[in-house]
């Protein structure tokens, strides 16, 4: 399987995983290819990918966006450490669902435990990445960054 086919599979799987996990109206932007650094400002969760697909997955958004997802999924307002813990679990759910979906294409992907990033962070260590912006309920936005090593 070519690298391009794997990258397409991971991108499509990520989009499907987000739609499966987040129970809100979502609008996906066109994926963009970006160079480092990526400026994260809010709450993010970084998950490593190993196996046939190697790299990292970053899911990030401001507290309101991540909080809205958490409130919808759990029926209560999440703040502080609870919100940060939820961000880690959201990352686990999306990455785990992605890994499961890739098995359909015979792509093996394992994930690392999540690392939560809070505040302003510049992310380096990748040559190019796929950036996907997702609008939630027409007024909040989260971002997904796929840093796939070839």
Would you state the pLDDT for residue 63? 95
CATH topology of domain 3-149: Chemotaxis protein chec (3.40.1550)
Residue 5 CB partners (closer than 8 Å, separation 6+): none
Q: What percent of the chain has pLDDT over 90?
A: 81
Query: Average of pLDDT values for 101-105?
Result: 90
The predicted model scores a pTM of 0.93
- The token duo for 47 is 């998950």
Question: How does pLDDT run across 16-62, given as a tens digit for each residue?
Answer: 999 999 999 999 999 999 998 999 999 999 999 999 989 999 999 99
Q: Is the pLDDT of residue 115 over 70?
A: yes
Would you state the pLDDT for residue 1? 63
Query: Average of pLDDT values for 121-141?
Result: 92
């Amino acid at each position: 399987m070519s690298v391009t086919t794997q990258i397409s599979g991971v991108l499509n799987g990520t989009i499907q995983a987000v739609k499966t996990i987040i129970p809100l109206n979502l609008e996906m932007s066109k994926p963009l290819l970006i160079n480092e650094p990526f400026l994260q400002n809010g709450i993010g969760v970084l998950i490593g990918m190993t196996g046939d697909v190697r790299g990292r997955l970053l899911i990030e958004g401001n507290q309101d966006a991540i909080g809205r997802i958490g409130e919808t999924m759990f029926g209560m307002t999440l703040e502080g450490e609870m919100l940060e813990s939820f961000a880690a679990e959201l990352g686990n759910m999306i990455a785990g669902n992605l890994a499961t979906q890739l098995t359909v294409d015979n792509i093996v992907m394992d994930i690392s435990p999540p690392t939560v990033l809070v505040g302003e962070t510049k992310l380096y260590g990748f040559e190019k990445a796929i950036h996907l912006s997702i609008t939630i309920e027409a007024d909040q936005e989260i971002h997904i960054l796929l840093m796939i090593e070839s």
